Each structure stands twice: as C-alpha cells, then as structure tokens.
Chain A
C-alpha cells in the first residue's frame, strides 16, 4: 500500500459507500422469492419446478398446467433458436407427423411422468431436441 492511496482513501470511501448500499439493496431484492398473486393458481416459473410437482398439478388442472409449460417452452425455444414455436413445429412436422399443440403437451407430460425427479426445463430441452433445436451447453437448463 503506497502513501498516495492511503491519503486518497477517505475520498474513495465517500464515493464507494452509496454504491455499496445500492449493491446491497439490489442484492436483497434479487434474493426475494418469486410468488404468485395470492388468489391465483399455479407457480411463478413453471420451467423451474420438479417434474413430480408438474405431474401433481396436471392431476388437478391438466389443461392450464400443460399450457403453462408449452408457453414456457415456446420462450425457451425462441431464445435457443431465434424461431417461434409455430415455425419450429411447422418445420419439424413437414416430413412426418405434424407437431400439434396436443402433441407438444403430450411430449412434455410424458417426459415428466418418466422423469419425476428431473426439472420441467429438462422436459422443454427434450422437446427442443426433437424439434431439431440445438441447445447450447451454456444455455441448457
């Protein structure tokens, strides 16, 4: 530690303190757990729950639960490929059986039923692979 730094230290501290407070405040905010509005059903991030929970939700609200994960998967696929779900479904179904809304849901549900300890995002990754979307390792869930 040289003399000049020691002399300037109080000046830096005055500038750093507000930044530190902001940093801590921002850190505190990001640690807050996401929750649903009280009256609503479902979970805030359907892609980040265990498949066993997804299956339990399917038991009581099949249509809505399935739709939530399809919607989540559409965003995931768009981020991974830059293409919309409709575009990917059209391309994948061009050479064989069409990829319908029903089939998308069936694939996600079947994968989760077979892998209850995995996460729902893994189910989306599985569908991505079947749709021919290469999921980068860094972007993989």
Chain B
C-alpha cells in the first residue's frame, strides 16, 4: 500500500474505487484472454497460429524488454502484465496445443452420459495438468526467496519460521523492476489457477462421482473465500499500479469459480470463447474493459508511479 509523501489528489480515485476497478478489470481480462486466443486462431487459422506462435511469443519478451528499461512503474506494470499474457498464450497454450493435437496425437477427454461429448479438457490442457510438479518446484524459489514481497509467500515464510533464517531483504522498493515482477506474477498466477482447475477436473484423480463434485464445490468455497479476503485488502489500495498488481491474483482466483461452475453446468462463459455467437455481448464487455483500462491510465498517479520519487529530505 502506498506511503508516498505526495499523494495524488482525487475525490474519485480513493478506496475502494481503485481496488474495485482493478479487480473488475483483471477478472474480465481473464475471460478476454480466452477471447484473444480464439480470435488469433480464427484470423490466422489454426495451423498458421501454431506454426508462428513460438515467434509470436517473442513479442511478449520484446514488450518486457521495453518495460524493464522504463522508469515508469505504471508503464512497467501494464507492460509486464500484457507481455506475460502474450508469452503464456504463445509459449504455453499454443505450444501445448501443437504438441498435444498435432505432434503427439492425443485425443480430447470425452464427457456426457454416453461419453460422446467432447469435454473442455483438450489435449493441451491434459499436458498442462501434468506440469503441476514443475509449477510447485518453481514456486519453491519464491517460498525461499528473502526478497519476495508477495503477501502469500511472506505469510508462508512466517508460518514456516523462515524469516529469521532468510535474513532481511536486501532490496528496497526502488531497487525493484515492476515489469519483470508483474510479468512473472501474471505468468505464475495464470499457471497456478489453470493447474488448480485442471487437477480438480481430472477424472483420473477425482473420478466422475461424488468425490469430483465434492472437491470442486470445496474449490469454489476456497476460491470465493480467498478472492473475497484479498478483495477486502485490495479495496484499501490508493496507488493504481500497486492495485493492478494485487488484482492479478484476485481476478484469477475469482475466475477459478467461473471454470468450475461451467464444468458443473451451472453457468457458461461462452461469450468469451465463442464471441461470434455473442457479438453484441462480447463487444459490450470488450468496450467496458477498454474503458476501465483508459480510466486507470488517466487516473491521477503519485510521483513514484510515474518514476519520479519524492525525496523526503526535500
């Protein structure tokens, strides 16, 4: 949360508006990420998309490169977020899609009473589910990193009694580059939430009966409580850049519910994955998303968010 010496003056951009706007934006962004994938596939054609996706992924890295060189925290945050989305989409989703569908010859999981409906667990998601061990191993880095500022990992470090052993952090806020931080945060949060959904959806682990329903309803409970708790903290934020970064996991954890409720046939997010069938609705949501982005870009910033730090001695 902000401790800037010279806070921006605005009657509108105060708690809880900053937190609520960033939460809605990040929640919708997850859905629109699905839409973006579908649109790219549609425009380029699936085979072309899969062929060029490794190269397309580099655009995310180029974005990150620009972001890291910038001194503007707001710019770093936005560029880190969008860069990670591009890299996730191209180097994970599309690449797994090529491996599963076109290279390894995997078949989609089937669903329905007679087992003749293609479920949403396409080959790429079957592969992704198997990466949970790699994910947990990578998260060990943040669990045992003394310089992490993520509240969740700080909480884990405290619970594990690691703070003393790890020692004091050697970095201050101005030592941090928020482009790479946001980039990695977005990537890992997306990966974590996918893995969460894919594990609880896996009939090989959960079966197709009471355990499956029970585990997924428990997931809804956890996701609602977790996202709700984080939201109560988020709505206290004043700085838009900080709120944006905090809203990334909050929006993604909230989205876990959307996937589960769809899996249980209790709702649908078809507007995001079949935008042609819902042109008006998809356009309205996209318009609202762009409006929120514009509002956040225009929102008054504190000097530190713009790369101008106030020296308390002045």
Residues of A near any B CB (own CB < 8 A): 35-44, 49-50, 53, 56-57, 59-65, 67-68
Q: Which of B260-301 contact A (CB under 8 A)?
A: none
Q: State A93–B181 Cα separation when bound (angstroms).
A: 60
Contact A64 B107 (CB under 8 A): yes
Q: Given A61-B100, A61-B105, A63-B102: A37 and B110 within 8 A (CB)?
A: no
The count of residues in chain B whose C-beta lies closer than 8 Å to any C-beta of chain A is 25
Partner of A41, one of B102, B103, B107: B107
Contact A61 B101 (CB under 8 A): yes
Name the B residues within 8 Å of A43 (CB-CB).
Answer: 110, 115-116
Q: State A38–B208 Cα separation when bound (angstroms).
A: 8
Q: Tell me whether B145 is interfacial, beta carbon within 8 Å.
A: no
Q: List 30 A-B contacts (CB under 8 A).
A: A39-B202, A40-B204, A41-B110, A41-B123, A41-B126, A42-B107, A42-B108, A42-B110, A43-B110, A43-B115, A44-B115, A49-B116, A53-B118, A57-B118, A59-B118, A60-B101, A60-B108, A60-B118, A61-B108, A61-B122, A62-B101, A63-B101, A63-B102, A63-B103, A64-B101, A64-B104, A64-B105, A64-B107, A65-B107, A67-B105
Q: Given A53-B116, A60-B122: A41 and B204 within 8 A (CB)?
A: no
Q: Tell me whether B207 is interfacial, beta carbon within 8 Å.
A: yes
A15 to chain B, nearest CB (A): 40
Q: State A132–B5 Cα separation when bound (angstroms).
A: 86
Residues of B near any A CB (own CB < 8 A): 100-110, 115-118, 121-123, 126, 202-205, 207-208
A5 to chain B, nearest CB (A): 47
Q: A41-B110, A53-B116, A57-B108 are known contacts; what are 19 more A-B pairs with Cβ within 8 Å?
A: A35-B115, A38-B204, A39-B203, A40-B109, A41-B106, A41-B121, A41-B126, A42-B110, A43-B115, A43-B116, A50-B116, A56-B117, A57-B107, A60-B122, A60-B123, A61-B106, A64-B107, A67-B105, A68-B107
- What is the number of contacts between chain A and chain B, taking CB atoms within 8 Å? 71
A124 to chain B, nearest CB (A): 18
Name the A residues within 8 Å of B118 (CB-CB).
Answer: 53, 56-57, 59-60
Closest to A53 in B: B116
Kindly list the 9 A-B residue pairs having the minimum CB-CB distance in the complex, ordered from nearest: A39-B204, A41-B107, A42-B107, A64-B105, A63-B105, A38-B203, A60-B108, A64-B107, A61-B107
Q: State A57–B100 Cα separation when bound (angstroms).
A: 13
Name the B residues within 8 Å of A39 (CB-CB).
Answer: 202-205
Name the A residues within 8 Å of B202 (CB-CB).
Answer: 39
